[in-house]
Amino acid sequence: MNSFVICAAIVAIALMPLPTSAHEDSKPIGEAIKRVPIFDAHVHYKQPAWQPFPVTTVLELMDASGVAMALVSSTPDEGTIKLWKFAPRRIVPELRPYHDQFGSSNWMTTPGMAEYLRKKLAAYPHKGIGEFHIHDVRSINKPLLYEIVAIAKKRNILIHIHSDAEPVRFLFGLEPKLTVIWAHAGMTESAATVEKMMAKYSSLYADTSYRERDILSSTDTIDSGRRKFIERFPDRFMVGTDTWVNSQWTSYRKLVEINRKWLSHFPRSVAEKIAYRNAEKLFDRKITSSLIGER
């Protein structure tokens, strides 16, 4: 039997959840987090990664890390489709607007962008539009965002945005019932701002990629402000690795380990929601450790 298949099987067995009592669930999950499957809510499979990290290697990294499923967007979209075609049970595709010479700094001024998105969404089962960047409200192309929101509403898909708080407010101003994933939990926004945003918008979710070291301090304790918003809104956070450059793929297993480490400080009910249960509800997927080693 292939050694990798054996390794994946061992990981899957190790991830099998153990029964817990109500008393145990009130305590931090601790080492048991290692047996919890992970949904990685922020993955990019960009063109520079295709050769050094072929699709087989990406799945091997996911398996070795106990990542059962991932939300993937790429520059260009062909990267996402490569992974989805290789492992349709493990990959949830979303459509990033970036392609050719159009990236984070100029995608909103790209002629025909709305038509590009419609064409791609008609061809493949993307579950969201994003992750895309809006650097400030002044850079907003309002007609394009009106169209993107209309497309998302019509197709019943979400929007994944990298921005500070104001562009998120703008999107919800266009459509209060929109579902939004706020990349990096606002990146540089304060814990107080994140909490206020989550309180105001009930369909606002957030991935915590690149915020691991904000959540977990150097003294191995949870930041009090971030503990507060995580425990107040445990149903709307997910973890992520943000593989935007190849060094993130090189560090993939370590990144997942860091996420497990901070999740270990929370009760099982909270940790499991953030690890995978919130994604199950958001994307209507069954996420279990049995997916490890499968495609």
Residue 36 domain-assigned? yes
- Let me know if 278 is exposed, middle or buried by CB neighbors in 10 A (0-12, 13-18, 19+): buried
Alpha-carbon distance of 217 to 262, in angstroms, equals: 9
Residue 27 domain-assigned? no
Strand 204-207 and strand 180-182: the pairing is parallel
Q: Over the stretch 173-205, which tens digit does the pLDDT of each residue have?
A: 999 999 999 999 999 999 999 999 999 999 999
116 has a pLDDT exceeding 60: yes
183 vs 24, higher pLDDT: 183
One-letter amino acid of 240: G
Quote the domain boundaries for residue 43.
3-18+32-291
Residue 26 domain-assigned? no
Q: What sign for the dihedral angle of Cα 225, 186, 152, 280? A: negative
Residue 218 domain-assigned? yes
pLDDT band at 257 (very low <50, low <70, confident <90, very high): very high
Q: What percent of the chain has pLDDT over 70?
A: 92
Residue 23 domain-assigned? no
Q: What is the mean pLDDT of the chain?
A: 93
Residue 24 domain-assigned? no
Residue 116 domain-assigned? yes
Q: In this structure, what is the dihedral angle of CA atoms 209, 68, 120, 204, given to the nearest 10 degrees? A: -40
Q: Over the stretch 26-78, which tens digit does the pLDDT of each residue have?
A: 899 999 999 999 999 999 999 999 999 999 999 999 999 999 999 999 999 99
Edge-to-edge strand list for the sheet holding 91-93: 38-44, 67-73, 91-93
Q: Over the stretch 96-110, which tens digit does the pLDDT of each residue have?
A: 999 999 999 999 999
Residue 216 domain-assigned? yes
CA nearest to 130, candidates 152, 110, 115: 152
Count how many domains the chain has.
1
Alpha-carbon distance of 151 to 129, in angstroms, equals: 9
The CATH number for 88's domain is: 3.20.20.140
Contacts 24+ apart (CB under 8 A), 226-229: 226/191, 226/194, 228/191, 228/195, 229/191, 229/194, 229/195, 229/198
2 has a pLDDT exceeding 70: no
CA nearest to 267, candidates 18, 3, 26: 26
